[in-house]
Amino acid sequence: MSRALLSVLWQTGVMSAPRTARERARAELTGEIKAAARRQLETSGAESLSLRAISRELGMVSSALYRYFPSRDELLTALVIDAYDALGEAAESAAQKEYPHPREAWVAVYAAVRDWARANPHEYALIYGSPITGYQAPQTTVQPAARVPMVLLNILSQAHAEGWLPEVEAPEPSGRLAEQVDTIAPLAPGVPRPMLLRLVIAWTQLFGMISFELFGQLVGSMDPADDFFLETSRQMAKYVGIS
Amino acid sequence: MSRALLSVLWQTGVMSAPRTARERARAELTGEIKAAARRQLETSGAESLSLRAISRELGMVSSALYRYFPSRDELLTALVIDAYDALGEAAESAAQKEYPHPREAWVAVYAAVRDWARANPHEYALIYGSPITGYQAPQTTVQPAARVPMVLLNILSQAHAEGWLPEVEAPEPSGRLAEQVDTIAPLAPGVPRPMLLRLVIAWTQLFGMISFELFGQLVGSMDPADDFFLETSRQMAKYVGIS
DNA sequence: GGTTTGCGAGAGCAGTGCTCTCTGTTGTGA
DNA sequence: TCACAACAGAGAGCACTGCTCTCGCAAACC
């Protein structure tokens, strides 16, 4: 197996436990670079993330960083994936607990997503703010980005299986919209299409609400947003049929 | 009246029609700078907006730009305000038309906001994406930012006045949330508090949905988003009580 | 043990925001 | 009318950025 392939397999997380000392050092340094970048992200923002500052912090020369990340954008991509994974992790672990009612699971996931966003506002902005200029999010980010909506889908699907989804009158999607809803239908077997559509609506609402809170759009109306957020999460649970 | 004050009054739009030739030239150049900046914004993004590139385009030296905008952030602030105003303008003019039913006004405003966002994605990202690093949006942006929600409030309030708001069962906000809802209540006289709360929810949903579409978050599910957007705008109209 | 591969250092390029100083012009109050 | 103040642009310069290239050295492999 070639060195390059090994490196790819390891970087993508397919393989773990680097074998040679060099690979071990590389893994460690890659992690340290990302950690320093994340630390820098906390104080400044994404667009003022400086490779030179990172290299200074790690006591190396800036050009050496390019052995680990071919460009600033690649480093940002790595941070993006890590952020999606951290957020997905938070949502999943909130959903894994036991709840007497799916509504509470739903509300808990909402709260977990918000808490993570408030604790890591710059990382949140990195993934849900404006896309970084001239940089197309690679396909690698799609799967980790889907973790939060997957958690919501699972709650809904499980609620349906347990008979928590009563009949709610909601318009049946038609035409192309029905097709689009059908592409996600296999992920939540049994859930009626109107409720799947509403789940997408709720999903966009969730992140719109968090973005508004973090980006200061709620100042003057719903800030601080704790009560607003809690009440909204309950209403949205009902909106998608959980009651 | 001092020169500096005059300049402020003019820049903020309180005064129009500059009097002296110098002021006329200044007004024109300020506009040209913003126009060039906007042009540059279209191709690149906010964070790669370069004062030097603008000055090159206008055939002047970069330091001369600082006679008009004390810093890059100030220029961005001016662009932010212009963007809010352009978007507010679009929403307001959509709402001013005559509609047989407030639902259609609501849907039309949704569409106008989305159309503007899709036509000016970088300006949209400037105001609804991640905030620019180390730069706090000044108070001047608050009022223009409120134009879109004001349009929605007006539709709701007018719908109530015309008797289009039937009794819908929705939870009454309590505690601090009720207080917060009450701060916006005078802007939409007569509208029940539960519906005001839902309007805020719909507002956050609208921009969450548009951001998701523009920032590529809907790829793989609801992209292209035309049908999804239309259906959602209808459901949200109903959600806030318009039916 | 020789050869390939990976790694860090250093210099350098083209670009950035911003400041300071200088010269010329425009507007204004005495 | 005329001196003085305010303003405008040019140019040099500072400290910084991402990124490239070359050069030695050390680790890994055959």
**Contacts of residue A158, Cβ cutoff 8 Å, sequence gap at least 6:** A102
Annotate chain A with three-state secondary structure.
CCHHHHHHHHHCCCCCCCCCHHHHHHHHHHHHHHHHHHHHHHHCCCCCCCHHHHHHHCCCCHHHHCCCCCCHHHHHHHHHHHHHHHHHHHHHHHHHCCCCCHHHHHHHHHHHHHHHHHHCHHHHHHHHCCCCCCCCCCHHHHHHHCHHHHHHHHHHHHHHHCCCCCCCCCCCCCHHHHHHHHHHHHHCCCCCHHHHHHHHHHHHHHHHHHHHHHCCCCCCCCCCCHHHHHHHHHHHHHHCCCC
**Token digits of residue A182:** 């059908």
Residue with token string 């949200």: B236
Nearest residue to D11, CA vs C1'?
B61
**DSSP string over B203-230:** HHHHHHHHHHHHTTTTTTTT-S-HHHHH
Q: How confident is the model at residue B139 (pLDDT cuts 50, 70, 90)?
A: confident
Q: Which of B205, B238, B243 to mutate against chain A (most A CBs within 10 Å)?
A: B205
What pLDDT does residue B137 have? Answer: 64
Asked if the domains A3-70 and A74-239 are classified in one and the same CATH topology, the answer is no
Q: Which residue of B has its CA nearest to A42?
A: B133
Checking if the pLDDT of B3 tops 50, the result is no
Checking if the pLDDT of B210 tops 60, the result is yes
Summarised one tens digit per residue, pLDDT across range B162-197 is 998 888 889 999 999 999 999 999 999 999 999 999
CATH for the stretch B3-70: 1.10.10
Summarised one tens digit per residue, pLDDT across range B12-43 is 444 455 577 788 889 999 999 999 999 999 98
Q: Which residue of B has its CA nearest to A215?
A: B131
Other Cβ atoms closer than 10 A to A61: 10
Annotate A139-203 with three-state secondary structure.
HHHHHHHCHHHHHHHHHHHHHHHCCCCCCCCCCCCCHHHHHHHHHHHHHCCCCCHHHHHHHHHHH
Q: Which residue of B has its CA nearest to A208?
A: B208
Summarised one tens digit per residue, pLDDT across range B165-174 is 888 889 999 9
Whether A204 sits inside 8 A of B201 (CB atoms) is no
Summarised one tens digit per residue, pLDDT across range B48-87 is 899 999 999 999 999 999 999 999 999 999 999 999 999 9
What pLDDT does residue A126 have? Answer: 94
What pLDDT does residue A133 have? Answer: 63
Residues in chain A within 8 Å Cβ distance of B132: 45, 47
Instruction: Please give, rounded to a whole number of angstroms, the shortest distance from the CA of A17 to a CA of chain B.
Output: 33
Chain Cα centroid distance, residue A6: 27
What pLDDT does residue B22 have? Answer: 82
- Cα–Cα distance, A176 to B103 (Å, whole number): 23
Whether B212 sits inside 8 A of A204 (CB atoms) is yes
List of protein residues whose beta carbon is under 7 A from strand D: A 3, 20-23, 49-53, 62-63, 66, 70-73; B 3-4, 7, 22, 25-26, 29, 59-64, 67-68
Checking if the pLDDT of B239 tops 50, the result is yes
Residue with token string 């699907």: A157
Q: Which long-range contacts (CB under 8 A, 24 or more apart) does A150-154 make?
A: A150/A88, A150/A187, A151/A88, A151/A91, A151/A92, A151/A94, A151/A95, A151/A109, A152/A106, A152/A109, A152/A199, A152/A202, A152/A203, A153/A184, A153/A187, A153/A188, A153/A191, A153/A199, A154/A95, A154/A188
Residues in chain A within 8 Å Cβ distance of B231: 171, 173, 177, 197
> What's domain A74-239's architecture?
Orthogonal Bundle (1.10)
Chain Cα centroid distance, residue A38: 16
pLDDT tens sequence for chain A (243 residues): 333 333 444 444 444 555 788 889 999 999 999 999 999 999 888 888 999 999 999 999 999 999 999 999 999 999 999 999 999 999 999 999 999 999 999 999 999 999 999 999 999 999 999 887 655 666 778 899 999 999 999 999 999 999 988 888 899 999 999 999 999 999 999 999 999 999 999 999 999 999 999 999 999 899 999 999 999 999 999 999 998
> What's domain B77-239's architecture?
Orthogonal Bundle (1.10)
Domain map of chain B by residue range?
3-70, 77-239
Nearest residue to C4, CA vs C1'?
A3
